[in-house]
């Protein structure tokens, strides 16, 4: 495809962006934007550490047992990428600068960025702290064509937050996402509807949204290496190879068909917290204590937002990064830390772990309902004022004296204010 | 009088696997240094270290004490109450054995019974806990009886032998308590007997209690109860032990002076918890307990390490043993006190303990003295004598009755008691019998011998006299018997080693080489001056080695026969892995770290990171240089040399009389052979008769080739009668196309035979002897070759020596020649001369020999100059040369293999491929076959076997002159190469990745198959394997899938279509099985009892070690019989050939096919990998192997190919030299990397699979050529550059690196030239450097440089990168002055070059990782390129 049709942001000229030019603009019919911050955590850090600009730098957990959570482009040149063990990163680049993560900062920057998006359109679908889909159909009259809007967003994010982002502009969500990936770093890529197929087909199959490692392997074995190969394979064949749903879905994607609209997350469907241990842990005591802490925190967030959860999900990631989740649905929804802990703890027991080393545990409440409407199962011998009331009292104390001022005895001495520390988990829309 | 009267009675060495941190020698050294006059070794679960320990004690003048630290089942019942000895009961699913309720049940209502623990779930991940912390007891041996009991007890514990079926001497203590047969698992193993970590019971210990003293310490049930403050339980636990040992029992008091909180430590159920067993308080309680029960108490330190600073190592070992990361919960020690402490320290501990036990004043002092005195008294009682008690040096051969059934027939039973008189008669009888056997064979020998009968008779008489004098006739008869057994099994067998020098061996049929014909002497093998058992090694077919073992075991019985074990010790890679795991490093990181090292010793890890250029420049090297890995590396180095695994020795078999099990403990090997806990050296020290039965894959290959010749051509070949003067065979050898041939296939040997041009069998013997470290190191090859090729006249040291040296043109090559030289010069006998030769090897004894040699030679009238010259030669020869008898034994299979290759190339190479004998990957052998015109026939479910089979190819099947622009391979215009074009080799199913023997058997049995679904249903092969078969083309012939063509013909099925078909079949099968399972609830999956591979007999719980060991066999699982092949009708899915609907998927390209072949088979069968690069190679003017001989000397060339071998052999300069062998489809290319180019390129050479190498040509002879490499690049990278920017881009890539090359100084270049000329040849050593392999340091560019600047201390943090080439370098210096790089002759880093599949997957992994590293920012390239396709082919 030629440069004139897919334009990198850096090459945009004023003429290109003229809002009322004659004839069809190439960004006609491309109302979907995917905005993705470049090396988000690292960029946030660089705002306050300009001395590190241009050096290989990574953000990650402490010591050699943590994981890289973000890497600057300079660091990526050494082969470092996120989710890589810290010790490997250090081996690849012994001189790399390592900064501890500051999630409060990232949350704050993220909120600022999302605010910029919502100024443009209410149709914002955040994927995580650092990326979101935008449907700008309604803003075109007000702000100009999508490419102009995109460039505007890029400038505002840079001006207001001091970090760069890349934007993909296309007719569908998944093409927009591929486009932003292709524009990285600090770029803009418009894929007009009539160029979608030409854009997609040379891409490797793994680039398609939803093609994981296993599917990729299956496709490669059949000699399908590019999206174009998939597109030109009979749907029947794909279905035979991958099953009904993903076979036809992939075929549609390969032709650029993706009906999924940008969806504003209505309400939180789950509340969860997880914690990566500073080092892999096999001590059941420590794991249980962590579960208790996470359960208390989840319950506190539930109460804060007036929810009760029906299903408790335990997430466990092992030293080798394999991850499993187990869930149990309660008879009635709960917002009581004790109950969540008891359930999570039982789920952990069921795993029968003996020598397994854990990298991360997480607790999540799903099936959220309004706490006031939640039916409460009264037990015969339950005291009138139970754990729920006790925990509400803790909430009030926390509000007054600070978080962690009152906590279970088992969590004493686990750090001054870190009783509720750890990595926050951004609520993710499911599906 | 000892300066330190204390004796440590509880000491674990490193032979307590993953428990002790010090070697026995280190412990002895420490004890000696402290002035202690005795020391015990009480390893856990075995006596592995006993012999070494006793020898070390002997050398240090310390009295050895031996004991055992053994895990035992608790004697207390479930409620913490003792069951009466011998009547304890086990739970069974059906109820209880025995009568009435157990004590546990009776006490349950009193609330002290522990609730039955819920069965533990199988963990979803991470595995179960190991090392269940059993209670342990300590047993010390007294005298010979005690030692025998110890040995038998260890065997019984490991093999799960039961007292009721005892050792024949069962005394019947208590009723039999065999294991509940229902408790056995289907393989007939008692569940609690886990191989390698035995847990035994009081009953078994009681059975072998003679001569043993029991010591109950903190880890015993008694000790644990006391630590848990339950003296009542301690008392209960003591009683049954006391009943057995009576007065031979002591309580062990151990205090590591750990703090005790003072709180009672019991859990709610009332059972004692572990408490703090090593606290002073617990120790005091133990002492008080001993006094209360009128038992002697002894003070020990439960030693696990020699010195205090090794405590962290012990932590690592605890973590490794339990397979968990280090955490206080997993560690056994509380502090660093468990070391071999001095007596004064122990006395202070004693005072502390006694004080805490509550006595005061004079009583206290007396108590301290009593504790120490009791310890000393027990030690004195347990001192062992190496000779009288352990029987070191005694020779025991199997009873003559056993060897001569006729003799035994005259008696009612074997005479077990063999007194001295009986033994003497037996020896005489053995002599007579040996002579009779020799005489019987003599007539036939004289018919074919070249020597006069009287010479032969004299020689035989002399040999027999020597044997009789040494009393070894029984030994020869035994070996003869074993060889007869093997021959009776129709297994190819050949003797190896110096035994080939003995006429008796030849006459007995042990050795096939005629010693007189080749001038071999007996004295090198057996000398009347040495009463050491001679070594006879027997080579058998590797594929049938275990069968031979079984037969030998069966013949001699488990009471006389056991295999020898060996200890794997920690080297750097395992140490890195285990320390990494203990420290909780990510698994991927551990792997990368471990593979970065060559296979060096663990203690050299730090130095390797500093010295090896490819490591120094890596991220690891830089982190290490900054000291960031110090803690890690210290632990890695601390593990150095500790045993980590006990395995079956590859060849040793012990043969003895029935007292064997009194002298060696036996455990089961992985395959279920009874295996002595002693290794080869221990066994030799003990004087046990060891026969080496070595499996030689070449023997299997040749046996296989012979059956293929018979099957395909109907010709029966008897290799043993093939004349040794076949011209075609020598022509083949001279052509240097000797890949696959025994002993002469290495790059160096191919170069040597090319120059040497052997023409007779004696030439072969010489050739093999020349290519040995000895001759290479003492520079014999150059003068030899010069004289042989007529360039120089042979030079003899003295005319008198001419007869001895004529055969090798005046050069000393053989040990036999040294013997003759010494004999001629001094007039001594050959036997004496052999003693002289042995003494020459050690720098300590060399001066003595010299002092004797000079006057002796003077007395014979030799002038001083001659003597001086001869002495120099002898000295340089040291112990190095090679035993001619050994070489002759080697030369026979060498000749046989070359003969087969010359006359039946296809069958021979099929054998080589099947049994994989060589140093090269199979794909290189395959390419060799192609070059001989042999067709390579693809994998085919209807034609392939479990082996590589030979098929006749009709001339019509021969390839046309040119296919797709490619010339077919023909035998090149090299004289002497056979033409194999009438044959093809069919690829083997056995090499398909993941296929198991049973599947292969089913596939072969079910042939022919009409379609894929027919195959699916009848062969019942796992889905991934079927898919691999499909992509490797095993169904091509069935579906008429031919060569790929750019345009797919309509209706033609592709391999991809078949893959989809497999998916459909799998889905269908799952659906139907699910339905079937729903209908019939229980499948018949369980294996009936006793139908394992070893048959029902294995269930008999006999005392026989053979049967017991077999019960513990863990593998390899025997193939299930293919007899029950289902005759199930194939479901008609309409996939008969021609019916499969096309799926629209592209057919695999040539490149994809080759990649699939490499992944599935590890072979590139359809095309050579390098073929895909041909356009680029041609445009760059890369020289191919076949054209190398046309290149001018000193011209710069490029070569390219697949890496098939890297070697770092020892060379004279003491530097590391890397030899790289590439295969470029026209033959092998050898390139040499000297140190100056290793800096920038070593990592590429070790880490890549496809390489482009730049180098200078050096011509060394008419067919000799070598390349001095000046650079190496990954072929894929070069190809990428070429594809993007053509030749200029490649030139730029290659030039970019030139700057880093330095030529080094003159000396380095001279040395290099010397070693380059012919690989094994080196210039003479510059000077003598006494002392074994002493580590020396050379500075800068080697021996010509100045003194080491800075030395070790100045590990240059200020020196960076390449500049550090100037810093000190370690060199090993041998007695003869030979210098060797510490990195010579070790397996290099990365994946083994012979493992094609490993390398391919490694390369793929790297490609994937590289892709991921490129990140999301850039467009992802099509994934996983193993190599780059030529521009024409699609799909890449």
Q: In the predicted model, what is the mean pLDDT of residues B34-58? A: 94
Q: In the predicted model, what is the mean pLDDT of residues A315-331? A: 89
Q: In the predicted model, what is the mean pLDDT of residues B82-93? A: 39
What is the CATH classification number for the domain harbouring A27?
A: 3.30.70.270
Considering the domain architecture, whether residues A149 and A291 belong to the same structural domain is answered as no
Contact B590/A at CB under 8 A? no
pLDDT value at A43 more than 50: yes
Contact B122/A at CB under 8 A? yes
pLDDT value at B207 more than 60: yes
Minimal Cα distance from B131: which residue of A? Answer: A355
* Least confident span in A15-19, B447-451, B1007-1011: A15-19
Q: Which residue has the higher pLDDT, B322 or B42?
A: B42
Look at chain A and report how many structural domains it folds into: 3
CB contact under 8 A, A354 and B120: yes
Residue B998 CA to residue B477 CA, distance in Å, equals: 40
pLDDT value at B1169 more than 80: yes
Please tell me the predicted confidence (pLDDT) of residue A355: 85
A63: confidence class by pLDDT, cuts 50, 70, 90: low
CB neighbours (10 Å) of residue A28?
15
CB contact under 8 A, B125 and A353: yes
Please tell me the predicted confidence (pLDDT) of residue B775: 67
Residue B1180 CA to residue B1290 CA, distance in Å, equals: 9
Q: Is residue A430 part of a domain?
A: no
Contact A237/B at CB under 8 A? yes
Task: Tally C-beta pairs within 8 A across A and B.
Answer: 159
B344: confidence class by pLDDT, cuts 50, 70, 90: very high
Contact B1413/A at CB under 8 A? yes
What is the CATH classification number for the domain harbouring A280?
A: 3.30.1490.100
Please tell me the predicted confidence (pLDDT) of residue B1309: 34
Q: In the predicted model, what is the mean pLDDT of residues A317-328? A: 88
Considering the domain architecture, whether residues A63 and A81 belong to the same structural domain is answered as yes
Which chain A residues in 169-208 lie under 8 Å from chain B, judged by CB atoms? Answer: 181-182, 184-185, 203-204, 206-207
Residue B951 CA to residue B557 CA, distance in Å, equals: 44
Pairing mode of beta strands B63-72, B38-44: parallel
Q: In the predicted model, what is the mean pLDDT of residues B1079-1084? A: 52
| Tokens (6 digits) for B137 | 């007891």
Identify the top-confidence range among A385-394, B718-727, B1354-1363: B718-727
Using DSSP, state whether A299 is helix, strand or coil: helix
DSSP B987-1015: PPGGGSTT--HHHHHHHHHT---SSHHHH
Contact B186/A at CB under 8 A? no
Let me know if A305 is exposed, middle or buried by CB neighbors in 10 A (0-12, 13-18, 19+): middle
ipTM (interface predicted TM): 0.78
Last residue of a domain, one of A192, A224, A241: A192
Task: Yes or no: say if B428 and B468 are a contact pair by the CB < 8 Å rule.
Answer: no
Considering the domain architecture, whether residues A174 and A229 belong to the same structural domain is answered as no
Q: pLDDT digits over B1408-1417, tens only?
A: 544 444 433 3
Minimal Cα distance from B626: which residue of A? Answer: A94
Contact A73/B at CB under 8 A? yes
Q: pLDDT digits over A172-219, tens only?
A: 999 999 999 989 888 999 999 889 999 999 999 988 877 888 888 888
CB contact under 8 A, A240 and B125: no
Q: Which residue has the higher pLDDT, A246 or A326?
A: A326
* Least confident span in A419-423, B638-642, B902-906: A419-423
Q: Which residue has the higher pLDDT, A247 or B191?
A: A247
Residue B203 CA to residue B170 CA, distance in Å, equals: 11
pLDDT value at B354 more than 80: yes
Considering the domain architecture, whether residues A36 and A159 belong to the same structural domain is answered as yes
Domain region containing A309: 270-425
Considering the domain architecture, whether residues A340 and A378 belong to the same structural domain is answered as yes
Full strand arrangement of the beta sheet holding B1334-1338: B1334-1338, B1369-1373, B1379-1380
Please tell me the predicted confidence (pLDDT) of residue B1261: 64
Percent of chain B with pLDDT strictly greater than 90: 31
Which positions of A are annotated as active-site residues? Answer: 131
Q: Which residue has the higher pLDDT, A291 or B1300?
A: A291
Q: Is residue A259 part of a domain?
A: no
Nearest chain B Cα distance for residue A180, angstroms: 9
Considering the domain architecture, whether residues A174 and A230 belong to the same structural domain is answered as no
Q: pLDDT digits over A126-174, tens only?
A: 988 899 999 999 888 888 899 999 999 999 999 999 999 999 999 999 9
Please tell me the predicted confidence (pLDDT) of residue B263: 43
Minimal Cα distance from A37: which residue of B? Answer: B1417
Q: In the predicted model, what is the mean pLDDT of residues B22-36? A: 95
pLDDT value at B1099 more than 50: no
Q: pLDDT digits over B1358-1379, tens only?
A: 333 333 333 445 666 655 555 6
Nearest chain A Cα distance for residue B323, angstroms: 8
Please tell me the predicted confidence (pLDDT) of residue B1301: 38
Please tell me the predicted confidence (pLDDT) of residue B1390: 66
Which chain A residues are Cβ-neighbours of B329 within 8 angstroms?
283
Residue B709 CA to residue B799 CA, distance in Å, equals: 50
Last residue of a domain, one of A140, A167, A192: A192
B163: confidence class by pLDDT, cuts 50, 70, 90: low
Considering the domain architecture, whether residues A146 and A2 belong to the same structural domain is answered as yes
Q: Is residue A275 part of a domain?
A: yes
CB contact under 8 A, A65 and B592: no
A298: confidence class by pLDDT, cuts 50, 70, 90: very high
Residue B463 CA to residue B453 CA, distance in Å, equals: 15
pLDDT value at B1039 more than 70: yes
Which chain B residues in 1091-1150 lie under 8 Å from chain A, judged by CB atoms? Answer: 1143-1148
Q: In the predicted model, what is the mean pLDDT of residues B512-519? A: 88
Q: Any long-range contacts for B839-842 (C-beta under 8 Å, 24+ apart)? A: B840/B874, B840/B875, B840/B877, B840/B878, B840/B879, B841/B878, B841/B879, B841/B880, B841/B1375, B842/B879, B842/B1375
Of B123, B619, B1063, the CB nearest to A353: B123
Residue B811 CA to residue B818 CA, distance in Å, equals: 11
Q: Is residue A260 part of a domain?
A: no
pLDDT value at B473 more than 80: yes
Of A92, A225, A319, the CB nearest to B586: A319
Nearest of B1384, B1401, B1404, B1383 to residue B1392 by alpha carbon: B1401
Nearest chain B Cα distance for residue A302, angstroms: 30
Last residue of a domain, one of A159, A192, A225: A192
Task: Yes or no: say if B731 and B689 are a contact pair by the CB < 8 Å rule.
Answer: no
Using DSSP, state whether B541 is helix, strand or coil: strand
Mean confidence (pLDDT) of chain B: 78
Identify the top-confidence range among A427-431, B829-833, B1304-1308: B829-833
CB contact under 8 A, B121 and A350: yes
Give B362's contacts (C-beta < 8 A, 6+ positions apart): none
Contact B1357/A at CB under 8 A? no
Give B677's contacts (C-beta < 8 A, 6+ positions apart): B46, B47, B48, B154, B565, B646, B664, B665, B666, B667
B1134: confidence class by pLDDT, cuts 50, 70, 90: low
Considering the domain architecture, whether residues A220 and A113 belong to the same structural domain is answered as no
* Least confident span in A91-105, B575-589, B844-858, B1293-1307: B1293-1307
Please tell me the predicted confidence (pLDDT) of residue B63: 95
Task: Yes or no: say if B682 and B52 are a contact pair by the CB < 8 Å rule.
Answer: yes
Please tell me the predicted confidence (pLDDT) of residue A26: 67
* Least confident span in A409-413, A424-428, B1024-1028, B1157-1161: A424-428
Give B455's contacts (C-beta < 8 A, 6+ positions apart): B516
B411: confidence class by pLDDT, cuts 50, 70, 90: low
Q: Which residue has the higher pLDDT, A25 or B527?
A: B527
B277: confidence class by pLDDT, cuts 50, 70, 90: low
Residue B885 CA to residue B878 CA, distance in Å, equals: 18
Considering the domain architecture, whether residues A26 and A167 belong to the same structural domain is answered as yes
Q: In the predicted model, what is the mean pLDDT of residues A280-295? A: 90
Using DSSP, state whether B100 is helix, strand or coil: coil
Question: Is the dihedral angle over the CA atoms B839, B844, B849, B850 positive or is it negative?
Answer: positive
Using DSSP, state whether B1285 is helix, strand or coil: helix
Which chain A residues in 36-65 lie under 8 Å from chain B, judged by CB atoms? Answer: 64-65
Residue B1400 CA to residue B1415 CA, distance in Å, equals: 23
Pairing mode of beta strands A188-190, A165-170: parallel
pLDDT value at B745 more than 70: yes
| Torsion region of B1361: left, alpha or beta (phi above 0 gives left; psi -120 to 50 gives alpha) | left
Distances (CA, A) of B1062 to B1017, B1020, B1026, B1027, B1135: 11, 12, 7, 7, 11
Q: pLDDT digits over B759-795, tens only?
A: 999 999 999 888 876 666 666 788 888 888 888 888 8
Please tell me the predicted confidence (pLDDT) of residue B1348: 32
What is the CATH classification number for the domain harbouring A209?
A: 1.10.150.20
Nearest chain A Cα distance for residue B1169, angstroms: 19
Please tell me the predicted confidence (pLDDT) of residue B1354: 32
Considering the domain architecture, whether residues A179 and A205 belong to the same structural domain is answered as no
Q: In the predicted model, what is the mean pLDDT of residues A367-390? A: 70
| Tokens (6 digits) for A275 | 């914690």
Q: Is residue A81 part of a domain?
A: yes
Q: Is residue A19 part of a domain?
A: yes
pLDDT value at B1093 more than 90: no
Annotate A383-410 with b (16+ C-beta within 10 A) or e (fewer): eeeeebeebeebeeebeeeebbebbbee
Please tell me the predicted confidence (pLDDT) of residue B957: 53
Nearest of B1327, B1300, B1314, B1309 to residue B1260 by alpha carbon: B1314
Residue A6 CA to residue A30 CA, distance in Å, equals: 12
| Tokens (6 digits) for B250 | 């002591």
Which chain B residues in 1057-1096 lie under 8 Å from chain A, judged by CB atoms? Answer: 1059-1060, 1063-1064
Residue B821 CA to residue B805 CA, distance in Å, equals: 9
| Tokens (6 digits) for B972 | 């090149």
Distances (CA, A) of B431 to B399, B437, B647, B655, B1338: 14, 10, 37, 19, 57
| Torsion region of B1159: left, alpha or beta (phi above 0 gives left; psi -120 to 50 gives alpha) | alpha
Task: Yes or no: say if B1258 and B1267 are a contact pair by the CB < 8 Å rule.
Answer: yes
pLDDT value at B970 more than 80: no
Considering the domain architecture, whether residues A146 and A230 belong to the same structural domain is answered as no
Contact A103/B at CB under 8 A? no
CB contact under 8 A, B127 and A204: no
| Tokens (6 digits) for B321 | 């043993």
Considering the domain architecture, whether residues A248 and A279 belong to the same structural domain is answered as no
Q: pLDDT digits over A81-90, tens only?
A: 888 888 888 8
Which chain B residues are Cβ-neighbours of A185 within 8 angstroms?
1417
Q: pLDDT digits over B1214-1264, tens only?
A: 678 888 989 888 888 889 898 888 878 888 888 888 999 999 998 766 666
Identify the top-confidence range among A66-70, A376-380, B893-897: B893-897
Q: Is residue A155 part of a domain?
A: yes
A380: confidence class by pLDDT, cuts 50, 70, 90: low
pLDDT value at A419 more than 50: no
CB contact under 8 A, B121 and A352: yes
Which chain B residues are Cβ-neighbours of A234 within 8 angstroms?
1143-1144
Task: Yes or no: say if B437 and B508 are a contact pair by the CB < 8 Å rule.
Answer: yes
Nearest of A301, A361, A363, A367 to residue A335 by alpha carbon: A301
Please tell me the predicted confidence (pLDDT) of residue B525: 87
Please tell me the predicted confidence (pLDDT) of residue B1132: 52
Q: Is residue A90 part of a domain?
A: yes
Q: In the predicted model, what is the mean pLDDT of residues B829-839? A: 87
Percent of chain B with pLDDT strictly greater than 70: 75
pLDDT value at B139 more than 70: yes
């Amino acid at each position: 495809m030629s440069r004139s049709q897919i334009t990198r942001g850096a090459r945009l000229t004023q003429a290109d962006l003229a809002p009322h030019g004659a004839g069809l603009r190439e960004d006609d019919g491309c109302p979907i934007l995917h905005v993705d911050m470049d090396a988000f955590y690292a960029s946030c850090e660089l705002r306050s550490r300009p001395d590190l600009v241009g050096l290989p730098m990574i953000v990650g957990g402490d010591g050699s047992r943590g994981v890289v959570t973000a890497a600057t482009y300079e660091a990526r040149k050494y082969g470092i990428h996120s989710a890589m063990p810290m010790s490997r990163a250090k081996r690849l680049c012994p001189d790399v600068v390592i900064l501890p993560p500051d999630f409060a900062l990232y949350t704050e920057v993220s909120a600022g960025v999302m605010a910029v998006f919502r100024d443009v359109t209410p149709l914002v679908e955040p994927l995580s702290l650092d990326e979101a889909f935008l449907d700008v159909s309604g803003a075109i009259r007000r702000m100009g064509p999508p490419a102009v809007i995109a460039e505007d967003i890029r400038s505002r994010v840079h001006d207001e937050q001091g970090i760069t982002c890349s934007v993909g502009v296309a007719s569908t969500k998944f093409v927009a996402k591929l486009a932003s990936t292709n524009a990285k770093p600090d770029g803009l890529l418009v894929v007009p509807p009539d160029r979608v197929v030409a854009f997609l087909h040379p891409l490797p199959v793994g680039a398609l949204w939803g093609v994981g490692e296993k599917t990729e392997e299956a496709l490669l074995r059949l000699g399908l290496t590019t999206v174009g190969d998939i597109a030109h394979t009979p749907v029947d064949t794909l279905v035979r190879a991958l099953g009904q749903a993903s076979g036809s879905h992939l075929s549609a994607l390969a032709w650029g068909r993706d009906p999924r609209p940008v969806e504003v997350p209505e309400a939180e469907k789950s509340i969860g917290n997880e914690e990566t241990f500073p080092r892999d842990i096999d001590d059941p005591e420590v794991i249980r204590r962590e579960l208790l802490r996470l359960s208390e925190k989840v319950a506190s967030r539930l109460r804060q937002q007036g929810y009760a959860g029906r299903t408790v999900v335990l997430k466990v990631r092992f030293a080798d990064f394999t991850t499993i989740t187990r869930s149990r649905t309660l008879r009635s929804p709960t917002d009581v830390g004790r109950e969540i802990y008891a359930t999570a703890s039982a789920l952990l027991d069921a795993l029968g772990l003996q020598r397994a080393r854990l990298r991360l545990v997480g607790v999540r409440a799903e099936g959220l309902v309004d706490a006031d409407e939640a039916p409460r199962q009264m037990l015969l011998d339950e005291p009138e004022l139970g754990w729920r009331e006790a925990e509400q009292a803790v909430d009030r104390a926390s509000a007054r004296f600070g978080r962690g001022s009152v906590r279970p005895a088992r969590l004493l001495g686990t750090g001054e204010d870190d009783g509720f520390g750890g990595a926050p988990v951004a609520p993710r829309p499911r599906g | 009088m000892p300066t330190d009267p204390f004796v440590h009675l509880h000491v674990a060495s490193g032979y307590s696997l993953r428990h002790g941190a010090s070697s026995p020698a280190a412990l002895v050294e420490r004890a000696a240094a402290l002035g202690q006059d005795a020391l015990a070794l009480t390893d856990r679960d075995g006596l592995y270290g006993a012999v070494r320990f006793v020898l070390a004690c002997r050398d240090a003048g310390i009295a050895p004490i031996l004991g055992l630290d053994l895990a035992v089942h608790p004697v207390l019942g479930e409620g913490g109450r003792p069951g009466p000895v011998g009547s304890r009961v086990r739970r069974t699913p059906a109820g209880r054995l025995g009568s009435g309720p157990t004590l546990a049940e009776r006490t349950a209502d009193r609330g002290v019974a522990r609730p039955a623990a819920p069965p533990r779930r199988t963990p979803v991940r991470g595995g179960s806990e190991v090392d269940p912390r059993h209670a342990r007891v300590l047993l010390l041996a007294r005298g010979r009886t005690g030692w025998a009991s110890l040995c038998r007890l260890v065997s019984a514990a490991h093999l799960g032998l039961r007292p009721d079926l005892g050792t024949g001497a069962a005394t019947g203590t208590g009723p039999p308590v065999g294991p509940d047969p229902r408790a056995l698992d289907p393989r007939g193993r008692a569940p609690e007997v886990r191989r390698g970590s035995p847990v035994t019971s009081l009953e078994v210990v009681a059975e072998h209690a003679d001569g043993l003293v029991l010591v109950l310490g903190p880890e015993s049930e008694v000790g644990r109860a006391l630590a848990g403050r339950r003296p009542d339980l301690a008392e209960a636990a003591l009683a049954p032990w006391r009943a057995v040992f009576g007065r031979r029992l002591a309580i062990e008091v151990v205090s590591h002076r750990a703090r005790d909180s003072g709180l009672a430590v019991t859990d709610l159920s009332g059972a004692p918890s572990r408490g703090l067993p090593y606290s002073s308080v617990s120790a005091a309680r133990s002492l008080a307990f001993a006094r209360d029960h009128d038992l002697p108490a002894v003070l020990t330190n439960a030693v696990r390490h020699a010195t205090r600073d090794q405590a962290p190592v012990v932590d690592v070992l605890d973590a490794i043993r339990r397979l968990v990361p280090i955490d206080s919960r997993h560690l056994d020690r509380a502090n660093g006190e468990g070391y071999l402490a001095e007596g004064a320290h122990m006395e202070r501990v004693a005072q502390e303990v006694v004080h805490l036990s509550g006595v005061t004043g004079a009583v206290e002092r007396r108590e301290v003295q009593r504790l120490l005195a009791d310890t000393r008294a027990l030690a004195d009682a347990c001192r062992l004598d190496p000779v009288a008690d352990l029987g070191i040096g005694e020779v025991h051969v199997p009873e003559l009755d056993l060897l001569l059934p006729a003799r035994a027939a005259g008696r009612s039973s074997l005479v077990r008691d063999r007194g001295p008189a009986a033994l003497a008669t037996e020896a005489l009888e053995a002599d007579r019998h040996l002579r009779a056997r020799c005489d019987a064979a003599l007539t036939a020998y004289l018919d074919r011998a070249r020597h006069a009968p009287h010479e032969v008779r004299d020689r035989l008489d002399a040999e027999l006299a020597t044997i009789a004098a040494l009393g070894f006739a029984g030994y020869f008869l035994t070996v003869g018997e074993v060889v007869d057994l093997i021959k009776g099994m129709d297994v190819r067998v050949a003797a190896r080693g110096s035994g080939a020098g003995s006429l008796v061996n030849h006459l007995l049929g042990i050795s096939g080489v005629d010693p007189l014909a080749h001038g071999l002497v007996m004295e090198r093998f057996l000398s009347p001056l040495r009463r050491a058992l001679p070594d006879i090694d027997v080579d058998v077919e590797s594929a049938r080695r275990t069968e031979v073992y079984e037969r030998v075991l069966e013949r001699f019985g488990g009471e006389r026969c056991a295999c020898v074990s060996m200890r794997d010790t920690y080297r750097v890679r395992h140490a890195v892995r285990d320390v990494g795991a203990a420290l909780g490093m990510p698994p991927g990181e551990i792997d990368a770290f471990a593979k970065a090292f060559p296979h060096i010793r663990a203690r050299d890890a730090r130095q390797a990171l500093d010295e090896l250029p490819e490591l120094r420049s890596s991220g690891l090297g830089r982190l290490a240089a900054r000291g960031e890995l110090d803690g890690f590396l210290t632990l890695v180095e601390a593990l150095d040399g500790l045993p980590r695994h006990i395995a079956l020795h590859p060849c040793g078999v012990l043969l003895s009389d029935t007292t064997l099990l009194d002298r060696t403990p036996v455990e089961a090997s992985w395959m279920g052979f009874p295996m002595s806990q002693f290794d080869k050296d221990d066994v030799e020290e003990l004087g046990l008769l060891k026969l080496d039965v070595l499996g030689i894959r070449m023997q299997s290959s040749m046996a296989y080739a012979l059956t293929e010749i018979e099957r395909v051509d109907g010709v029966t070949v008897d290799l043993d009668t093939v004349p040794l003067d076949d011209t075609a065979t020598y022509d083949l050898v001279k052509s240097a196309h000797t890949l696959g041939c025994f002993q002469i296939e290495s790059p160096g040997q191919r170069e040597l035979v090319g120059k040497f041009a052997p023409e007779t069998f004696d030439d072969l013997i010489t050739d093999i002897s020349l290519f040995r470290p000895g001759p290479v190191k003492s520079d014999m090859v150059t003068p030899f070759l010069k004289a042989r090729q007529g360039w120089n006249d042979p030079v003899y040291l003295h005319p008198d020596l001419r007869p001895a040296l004529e055969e090798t043109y005046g050069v000393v090559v053989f040990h036999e020649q040294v013997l003759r030289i010494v004999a001629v010069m001094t007039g001594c006998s050959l036997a004496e001369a052999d003693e002289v030769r042995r003494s020459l090897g050690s720098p300590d004894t060399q001066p003595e020999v010299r002092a004797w040699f000079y006057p002796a030679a003077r007395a014979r009238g030799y002038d001083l100059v001659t003597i001086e010259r001869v002495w120099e030669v002898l000295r340089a020869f040291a112990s190095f040369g090679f035993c001619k008898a050994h070489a002759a034994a080697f030369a026979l299979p060498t000749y046989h293999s070359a003969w087969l290759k010359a006359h039946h190339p296809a069958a021979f190479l099929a054998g080589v491929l099947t049994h994989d004998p060589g140093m090269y990957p199979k794909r290189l052998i395959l390419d060799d076959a192609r070059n001989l015109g042999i067709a390579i026939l693809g994998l085919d479910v209807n034609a392939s076997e479990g082996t590589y089979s030979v098929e006749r190819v009709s001339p019509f099947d021969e390839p046309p002159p040119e296919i797709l622009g490619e010339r077919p391979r023909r035998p090149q215009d090299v004289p002497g190469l056979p033409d194999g074009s009438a044959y093809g080799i069919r690829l083997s199913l056995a090499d398909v990745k993941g296929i198991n023997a049973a599947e292969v058997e089913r596939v072969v049995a079910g042939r022919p198959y009409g379609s894929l679904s027919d195959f699916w249903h009848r062969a019942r092969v796992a889905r991934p394997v079927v898919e691999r078969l499909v992509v490797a083309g095993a169904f091509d012939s069935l579906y008429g899938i031919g060569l790929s063509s750019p345009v797919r013909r309509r209706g033609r099925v592709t391999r991809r279509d078949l893959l989809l078909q497999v998916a459909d079949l799998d889905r269908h099968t799952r659906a139907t099985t699910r339905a079937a399972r729903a209908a019939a609830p229980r499948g018949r999956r369980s294996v009936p009892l006793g139908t394992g591979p070893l048959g029902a007999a294995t269930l008999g719980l006999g005392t026989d070690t053979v049967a017991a060991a077999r019960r513990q066999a863990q593998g390899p699982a025997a193939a299930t019989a293919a007899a029950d092949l289902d005759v199930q009708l194939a479901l008609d899915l309409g996939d008969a050939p021609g019916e499969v609907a096309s799926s629209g998927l592209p057919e695999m390209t040539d490149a994809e096919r080759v990649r699939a072949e490499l992944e599935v088979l590890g072979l590139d069968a359809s095309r050579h990998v390098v073929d895909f690069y041909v356009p680029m190679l041609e445009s760059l003017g890369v020289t191919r192997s076949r054209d190398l001989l046309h290149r001018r000397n000193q011209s710069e060339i490029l070569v390219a190919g697949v890496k098939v071998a890297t070697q770092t052999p020892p060379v004279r300069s003491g530097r590391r030299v890397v030899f790289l062998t590439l295969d470029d489809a026209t033959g092998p290319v050898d390139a040499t990397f000297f140190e100056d180019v290793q800096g920038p390129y070593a990592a590429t050479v070790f880490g890549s699979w496809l390489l482009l190498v730049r180098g200078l040509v050096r011509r060394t002879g008419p067919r000799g050529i070598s390349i001095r490499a000046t650079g190496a690049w990954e072929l894929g990278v070069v190809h990428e550059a070429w594809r993007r920017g053509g030749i200029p881009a490649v030139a730029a890539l290659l030039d970019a690196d030139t700057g880093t090359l330095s030529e080094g100084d003159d000396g380095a270049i001279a040395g290099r030239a010397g070693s380059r000329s012919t690989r094994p040849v080196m210039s003479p050593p510059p000077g003598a450097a006494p002392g074994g392999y002493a580590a020396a340091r050379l500075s800068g560019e080697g021996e010509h440089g100045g003194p080491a600047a800075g030395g070790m201390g100045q590990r240059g943090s200020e020196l960076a990168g390449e500049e550090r080439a100037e810093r000190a370098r370690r060199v090993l210096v041998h007695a003869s002055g030979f210098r060797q790089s510490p990195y010579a002759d070790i397996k290099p880093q990365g994946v083994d070059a012979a493992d094609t599949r490993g390398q391919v997957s490694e390369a793929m992994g790297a490609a994937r990782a590289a892709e991921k590293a490129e990140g999301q920012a850039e467009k992802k390239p099509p994934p996983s390129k193993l190599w780059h396709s030529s521009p024409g082919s699609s799909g890449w």
